[in-house]
Chains A and B, each alone.
Chain A
Amino acid sequence: MAEYAKYVDVTKCDGCRACMVSCKNWNDLPAEPEDFQGSNQSHAKVTANTWNVLSFIEHENASGNLEYLFRHSACFHCKEAACVKVCPEDAMHYSELGTVVVNDEKCVGCGYCVQNCPFDVVSLATYKDKHGKEYKKAQKCTLCTDRIEEGMQPACISVCHTGAMEFGDRDKMIQKAEKRLAEIKGKFPNAVVYNPPGVGGTQTIYVLAEKPSVYGLPENPKVPTSAVVWKDYAQPIGKMMLGATTMAVIGAYISNKIFYKEDEGDGGHE
């Protein structure tokens, strides 16, 4: 199956926030009243009910001038996603399109994904069941998997009026990003294409005007080492050890039945 990606050229973004509105609208997400963030930014970061946030960064560039940097921020849809790795219920999974999505039926709201996401994107939403009892589910951007499956563009991209975002074949989007990078290097010498290899590459390909850290992004994000040793080693070895000691005691029991002689044990207790 072809791989898709969301292309985001932050240098073309004018900060209109239509992507945020469109996302809320399509995904039927409730409004979240927020305190003043100290800038034009509406929310501190993405949340369980606000799947994309336009971040406004006031940055002093090398020549001492103010640079007003905008970035459409949402789930990166990592190719090797830490959230998928740590999910104990297989709720966080890769869709057929390769997007990272939550299966609400399976999610138990444990929050392992929340703590292990290298981009701090996943959060738990609190709901109430019909008895008034609260329960939690992990929520985040789905890359509008439901729309893509119907042959539509993700909601955020469909409304972008400056052409800062595009959706399509992943390789083409990477090429487009590289081409765009060459165009803007003169104006933004620190510009980079952000497609971090530590998480197997992402399905959001960014053209950033400045270093990732300027945007509050990790320079070298990766699946936490702790998550790898936990899920790939500790858990299977732990299960094997329990099996091993269980086998040992069963072996001991059987062996006693076969080899034990009454008189030998007499007075020989340790």
Chain B
Amino acid sequence: MVLIGKKIDVGATRCARMGFTLVELLVVIAIIGVLVGLLLPAVQAAREAARRMQCSNNLKQFGLANHNYHDTYNALPFRRGGTCCWQSGAPGGINNAGRLSAFVSLMPFYEQGAMYDLIRAGDPAAGISPGGPYAWNSWGVWNNAPGVVLCPSAAGGFSHDRSHNYAFSMGDSVTGLNPGYTGDNRGVFGQATRFAEIIDGTSNTIMMSERLGSQTNGGPTTVGLNQVEAVQGIANSVAGSNTNPQICMTPAVVTGRFFTAGLTVKGRWGHQYTDGQAERVGFNTVLPPNSASCSSGDNPNSDNTVALLPPTSRHPGGVNVLMADGAVRFVSQTIDTGNLAAPPVNSGFSPYGVWGGLGSKNGGETVGEF
């Protein structure tokens, strides 16, 4: 009996030592909660961080390609150029309508020399002249876009074999975007720019950036409530946005993340990397990154000469940009954009703050930290 009693005693004290009180349990749960709360977002963000790294690496490749192109030809490529010209009623193969994008010119410099040679040769037997067919056409040679023109973060758009996610800078110019090589184009990609003409300094001037493909591939449709994301489409006929870019940020154009219901929005961006139109492969540094795109014009295709085309991406908080010196930087979407209600200028300081100053190649602005 005594022995049994002792045994029970020992067992009871052991039980008291091994058990947890409610408070201890709560503390442990709280610590686990904190650790999970800290680590889980980090694990999820690691995927996007990896995608972003690939996107910025592609930009770096384009930086090298542009510099090697400049070393070879002593100038940067035209954003839009080629064999001339479109003719009414003629078959699409007679020339490329002077609209090949810089992605084609740069091909030999990002290891797509074979495709470049095929485009240069054309296909005379099939009625396609050297230089390829009209740049907006489907053609077997260029229908399989090189992987370097795609950013893996840029999901959610309409995609096909000619989609792309990178864009050439038109600076803080809003008008005269097409053809883009006449008149004053304040960005790096205008008329065969030489590095010597980037007077603001190559480390203070943006050369390329990213843009998400559009939600559809086609002309304008009237959008409904919460239907088309503002970062993807281009709103047509936004009157006054050519002289007052800020109109493109008002509730009349943007409702939450989406275009306001009733607007006519088109999906032309990111669907034809070979076509050099502004609304295909261009961006300007007026509206901050990841804002809506607008045009005061009403062209249903990609041919508006006036447009606000900010770079857009799925990276949280901003976009990657390639500076003219080859550096890749991340620009926040809250970057200083100065006075967006001011009309665009053709010379001198950009009215659009640090962002506009980074876009212009010869504005004379001092650009601080960004």
Our verdict on whether A and B bind, yes or no, reads no
